[in-house]
Structure 1
Amino acid sequence: MTKLLPTSTAGSLPKPSWLCEPEKLWSDWKLEGDALAEAKQDALRITLAEQQFAGIDIVSDGEQTRQHFVTTFIESLRGVDFTKRETVTIRKRYEASVPTVVGAVARTRPVFVDDAKFLRAQTKSPVKWALPGPMTMIDTLYDAHYKSREKLAWEFAKILNEEARELEAAGVDIIQFDEPAFNVFFEDVNDWGVAALERAAEGLKCETAVHICYGYGIKANTDWKKTLGNEWRQYEQTFPTIQKSSIGMVSLECHNSHVPLDLIGLIRGKKVMVGAIDVASNTVETPEEVAATLRKALQFVDADKLYPCTNCGMAPLSREVARGKLNALSAGAEIIRKELSAQRPAA
């Protein structure tokens, strides 16, 4: 990535209404069989075109082929029974009916590799692919087999590493592990969560990233944010451990949050995907609002390590709003590029 301030998205983008019910998580597919497979590829083409039209530099699949950023990966694994469900509290925020781990978990086939190969064939742009992180996976299940969060996380880490290595071989340039659970279970993160994440990324030669946010713009998350006070200092609990890790990039939430941006200084030396787009609002940012967030971040991260991004995924938003936000992200980054260029001394 030689371009200064390369832009990307944190994860999901809205799906077309002909593929599933829009602006909804866990939306059922409207098609089946070969028709669904073809429709998913069409959606991949569309989401790629929209990112490129908006000027996004590092493109992704927008999670068009998956219903949910965690459960779609888990569905492919052996040892998890989706018919045997239990109610658990996810990330200490809301209750959900989840599948049960009934035996040893194992990956029996590639999950996203064919999709990654398809996307790679459509573009010469750098490609980022998101996978759920081990700790977030265990927080989305009921474990009736291992009966140990740590043991199950290490098993998932090994499985994720298998998938990540094949994604890398398929031409993916950045593999991002989504770990919103890192903002909740601080003691576990520092004791074994970061180590499990490193196991998931073991042996990869491509760029690796961890995405830690405050969640989709759904009511359970926005209600939780209201309880966090005037300063959100969750990153302070885990960034020192992450800074020492082998993970090269950190994706975090900044715009319209109460995260003190000086906390970015705790991961000095890492590349930082700065969330400059609020995914919990239908208001489209102006390019100058994006630029203002990036200017603040540049006090704590070097320009060659700053990657403008969204706070989180945008699946619950309308396609029109998401397009506007992507355009604003690109335009805001360009404002800062020009400012930085003007500051350079003449040759």
Structure 2
Amino acid sequence: MSSTITTSSLGYPRIGRNREWKKLLEDFWSGKISEEQLRAGMSGLQLQHLKTQQQAGIELIPVGDFTFYDHVLDTAAMFGVVPPRYGYDGGEISLELYFAMARGSAGATACEMTKWFNTNYHYIVPEIGEQTPVLTANKPLAAYRFAKEQAGIEGKPVVLGLYTFLKLSKGFPAADLAAVAERFLPVYIQLLQELKQEGVAWVQIDEPAVVTGLGAEDITLLERIYETIASRVPGLKLLLQTYFEAAEPLEALLNLPVAGLGLDFVHDGGANLESIRQLAWPADKWLGAGIIDGRNIWRSDAAAKLELIRELRAFVPDGQLILQPSCSLLHVPVSVQGEDRLKSTVRNAIAFADEKLAELSLIAAAAADGQDRYAAELAENREALSLFRALPERGRGDVAEQVRRLQQLPDSRSLPFAERQKVQRDKWQLPLLPTTTIGSFPQTAEVRQARLKWRKGVWSQERYDAFVRKQIEDAIAFQEELGLDVLVHGEFERTDMVEFFGEKLAGYLFTKGGWVQSYGSRCVKPPVIYADVAFVEPMTVMESVYAQSLTRLPVKGMLTGPVTILNWSFVRDDLSREAVANQIALALRQEVEALEAAGIEMIQVDEPAIREGLPLKAEDHEHYLNWAVRAFRIATNPVKDTTQIHTHMCYSEFNDMIDSISAMDADVISIETSRSHGELIVSFEEQEYDKGIGLGVYDIHSPRVPDTREMTASIERALRVLDAGQFWINPDCGLKTRGWEETAAALRNMVEAAEQVRKAVGV
């Protein structure tokens, strides 16, 4: 390849093609392997990832993006940012302490976990107090040495930028951001100085927080950070990397004393290119052009990318263009190899991480050396995309007609909430502070094995249905014995809260190995929306009706909401996300009607991902929230006034969208608050919320079982700002990933806490 274009990767999936990363972690946590075995296994996986990128022809290979849990947690540990409750007294962070911060321990709750910008990846939120930052270990340096010694690779260390690290942290007032940055600058400088002394050429400094909108104070802080680094570590080439949206104002970022700037040309809405057209690109600045979609799985249109590169080369000095994915490939599966169940027309239009690196190398080579040399490969790209786009299921007339009729559908329930609340109280006769769970119960090895036998044809449909019914029977009896007020059927028939529905709706396809990391060792296999989405037949009625037949207590029907199904899927890229959400909402509307017709009159439509789809720039929030709320209401508003609609949201910041949550018009919403230590409650001190609400009283993502006293304190704090008549008691999320023993212990404590608070308020 010509030297005028360089190829780079911003990060590679950690989990391995067969989720080896997940197995190593879980084997270690369960005591099956030692720390030494864990580290050896992780080193082998890390080396494999490096060699894969090297073999794909990538020239600037990232090092330091590999982690044992989360890269933000790595940064906090590297700088000694450990909350006081862990008893840390200095020195390098042990693996035991590292995992305690992520997962909790017997003596301390886990650190808060929330979404990484608007993705479904969760990071561990650093808690910055009065700690004096120290460089406990130079992780990027160790990763650079490992790549050089083990694979002969001169890697590009990846460092989470100081501005973004602090923006993602908690524990200090926003007004103190600049002062806190001054405390951390010395350790950042030390880290970079050690990299320079080692002979590192390029360092990738990830600063995605700059795309959320920069005010004058933010620009001043960024100037202070990077001018200080430039003066203290001269000669080290820094690539300040942005992604997920347009970097604005681009002129301010171009003025920073860094060698290069990485921009996303996929998810920027064309704004980055437009800014470059209007500005004079600095003669001394490299451009890292993110041209390959790092967040979705569709193959790139090579011709369109080559045209983009042609225009960029008109602005960027020769030899200073770096082609790369739009962000880390952490957000896509590893390889399409093995996806032999997909029809070739669809499979040929898909690119996972390995395929994205290959197409990046091809496009870069064609741009540098001439398209004639790669005519066959480029023709194959055109043909594959043309066949895929022409599939008849991608343009169904009946779905288009349903969407056209959307404007004729009512946009609200027949009665406002205040009036619905009265008739629902009369109908359900629930006690004060009713107790319930979010939906799922433990997916044991027995449940997973039964599902696998059914999928492989070893078990008949009748045998599998009987097995599921027995699980439901046990779950109903279990909940009645605990004393819960509103029950669930347990979701034993469901692999995943989105995949389950995708399998039953038209317009979806499913991969065998399309796994991505969600949090920690938790991996999900997002379904793929490749065509028009449509209702086929009832999806949840059979299990819900059977569960309700076993008890006199109400049993909630359980659905996943349209925006979460959208946000947790890989979505076709030829329609707007709003248009696809409306298709899903119309399909779910028919399911809601089927449940109600079958006698299920508490229906939970979960939207845990509604917040993560929020655009990163404030000026775009209103449009997104308007159509997201409308999609939820399309799905849920046809029911009777006495039918109670619940929803659930988890692990996101909701303070800035309470009004939109209320506008969804669900009768009851449950929101996670356990890891955030009740901070969301502050929102209700400042903003009125008039509907039913459950603030999760314990963290299901940690194996720790909180005692009754701890849960009682959480409830009592919430009741300082919420009326007892609107408050529900529940865990903060589904219990699918927990074991039965800890589930039983935690729910017993939760029910007892509710009883104690009822007595305390005189009920």
TM-score, normalised relative to structure 1? 0.84
3-state DSSP of counterpart to 2:729: strand
Q: Distance in 1 between matches of 2:509 and 2:701?
A: 32
Q: Is 1:307 aligned to 2:728, yes or no? A: yes
1:131 alignment partner in structure 2: 559
The question of whether the paired residues in 1 share the 8 Å contact of 2:646 and 2:667 is answered with yes
Quick check: 123-132 or 177-186, which moved more?
Answer: 177-186
The question of whether the paired residues in 2 share the 8 Å contact of 1:86 and 1:98 is answered with yes
Q: Distance in 2 between matches of 1:236 and 1:297?
A: 15
The question of whether the paired residues in 2 share the 8 Å contact of 1:90 and 1:139 is answered with no
Work out which of the residue numbers 260, 263, 270 in structure 1 matches 2:683: 263
Q: Is 1:252 aligned to 2:671, yes or no? A: yes
**How large is the Cα RMSD of the aligned pairs?**
2.5
Matches within 5 A, 1:55-74: 55-74=483-502
**Structure 2 residue identity aligned to 1:237:** D
Work out which of the residue numbers 442, 452, 462 in structure 2 matches 1:29: 452
Aligned-pair CA distance for 1:138: 1.0
Residues 94-148 of structure 1: per-residue CA shift (max 9 Å, x gap):
9865333232211111001011111111111011122111111112222337532
3-state DSSP of counterpart to 2:527: strand
Q: Distance in 2 between matches of 1:84 and 1:45?
A: 31
- Does 1 or 2 have the higher relative contact order (CA < 8 Å, sep 6+)? 1
Q: Is 1:211 aligned to 2:631, yes or no? A: no
Work out which of the residue numbers 229, 234, 238 in structure 1 matches 2:657: 238
1:220 alignment partner in structure 2: none
Number of paired residues?
318
3-state DSSP of counterpart to 2:559: strand
2:130 alignment partner in structure 1: none
- Report the CA distance shift for 1:146/1:47 in structure 2 as closer, same or farther (over 3 A): farther
The question of whether the paired residues in 2 share the 8 Å contact of 1:4 and 1:303 is answered with yes
Q: Distance in 1 between matches of 2:513 and 2:527?
A: 5
Q: Distance in 2 between matches of 1:30 and 1:319?
A: 22
**Structure 1 residue identity aligned to 2:442:** P
Q: Distance in 1 between matches of 2:453 and 2:749?
A: 31
Q: Distance in 2 between matches of 1:85 and 1:15?
A: 20
Matches within 5 A, 1:155-194: 155-186=583-614, 187=621, 189-194=624-629
The question of whether the paired residues in 2 share the 8 Å contact of 1:242 and 1:267 is answered with no
Q: Distance in 2 between matches of 1:161 and 1:213?
A: 23
The question of whether the paired residues in 2 share the 8 Å contact of 1:78 and 1:104 is answered with yes
Quick check: 148-157 or 30-39, which moved more?
Answer: 30-39
1:197 alignment partner in structure 2: 632
Quick check: 175-184 or 326-335, which moved more?
Answer: 175-184
Residues 56-92 of structure 1: per-residue CA shift (max 9 Å, x gap):
110001211211111101101111122598788879x
- Report the CA distance shift for 1:136/1:167 in structure 2 as closer, same or farther (over 3 A): same
Q: Is 1:319 aligned to 2:740, yes or no? A: yes
Q: Distance in 1 between matches of 2:758 and 2:711?
A: 12
Q: Which runs of 5+ in 1 are unaligned?
A: 22-26, 215-231, 343-347
Q: Where does structure 1 differ by over 3 angstroms across 4 or more consecutive aligned residues?
A: 27-31, 83-91, 94-99, 264-267
Quick check: 325-334 or 259-268, which moved more?
Answer: 259-268
Q: Distance in 1 between matches of 2:754 and 2:489?
A: 21
Q: Distance in 2 between matches of 1:317 and 1:83?
A: 26
Q: Distance in 1 between matches of 2:550 and 2:518?
A: 36
Q: Distance in 1 between matches of 2:756 and 2:739?
A: 26
Q: Distance in 2 between matches of 1:88 and 1:64?
A: 22
2:176 alignment partner in structure 1: none
The question of whether the paired residues in 2 share the 8 Å contact of 1:254 and 1:275 is answered with yes
2:576 alignment partner in structure 1: 148
- Report the CA distance shift for 1:89/1:161 in structure 2 as closer, same or farther (over 3 A): farther
Identity among equivalent positions (%) equals 28
**Structure 2 residue identity aligned to 1:156:** I
Quick check: 249-258 or 186-195, which moved more?
Answer: 186-195
Q: Distance in 2 between matches of 1:71 and 1:64?
A: 13
The question of whether the paired residues in 1 share the 8 Å contact of 2:708 and 2:753 is answered with yes
Q: Distance in 1 between matches of 2:594 and 2:732?
A: 27
2:702 alignment partner in structure 1: 281
1:332 alignment partner in structure 2: 753
**Structure 2 residue identity aligned to 1:147:** L
3-state DSSP of counterpart to 1:324: helix
Select the structure that is richer in strand. Answer: 1
Q: Is 1:297 aligned to 2:732, yes or no? A: no
The question of whether the paired residues in 1 share the 8 Å contact of 2:498 and 2:526 is answered with no
Q: Distance in 2 between matches of 1:113 and 1:42?
A: 17
- Report the CA distance shift for 1:267/1:147 in structure 2 as closer, same or farther (over 3 A): farther
Q: Distance in 1 between matches of 2:516 and 2:448?
A: 26
3-state DSSP of counterpart to 2:528: strand
Larger radius of gyration: 2
1:19 alignment partner in structure 2: 447
Aligned-pair CA distance for 1:296: 0.7
**Structure 2 residue identity aligned to 1:50:** F
The question of whether the paired residues in 2 share the 8 Å contact of 1:6 and 1:57 is answered with yes
Work out which of the residue numbers 338, 341, 345 in structure 1 matches 2:762: 341
Residues 2-36 of structure 1: per-residue CA shift (max 9 Å, x gap):
31111000121113442225xxxxx9534432211
3-state DSSP of counterpart to 2:747: helix
Q: Which runs of 5+ in 2 are unaligned?
A: 1-427, 615-620
Q: Distance in 2 between matches of 1:50 and 1:299?
A: 32
Work out which of the residue numbers 10, 32, 45 in structure 1 matches 2:438: 10
Q: Distance in 2 between matches of 1:293 and 1:334?
A: 14
The question of whether the paired residues in 1 share the 8 Å contact of 2:468 and 2:493 is answered with yes
- Report the CA distance shift for 1:97/1:310 in structure 2 as closer, same or farther (over 3 A): closer
Quick check: 282-291 or 305-314, which moved more?
Answer: 282-291
- Report the CA distance shift for 1:35/1:28 in structure 2 as closer, same or farther (over 3 A): closer
Aligned-pair CA distance for 1:163: 0.5
**Structure 2 residue identity aligned to 1:322:** T
The question of whether the paired residues in 2 share the 8 Å contact of 1:253 and 1:275 is answered with yes
3-state DSSP of counterpart to 1:196: helix
Aligned-pair CA distance for 1:52: 1.1
Aligned-pair CA distance for 1:50: 1.1
Aligned-pair CA distance for 1:245: 3.5
3-state DSSP of counterpart to 2:706: coil
The question of whether the paired residues in 2 share the 8 Å contact of 1:9 and 1:59 is answered with yes
3-state DSSP of counterpart to 1:20: helix
The question of whether the paired residues in 1 share the 8 Å contact of 2:557 and 2:603 is answered with yes
3-state DSSP of counterpart to 2:479: helix
Q: Distance in 2 between matches of 1:12 and 1:238?
A: 26
**Structure 2 residue identity aligned to 1:250:** I
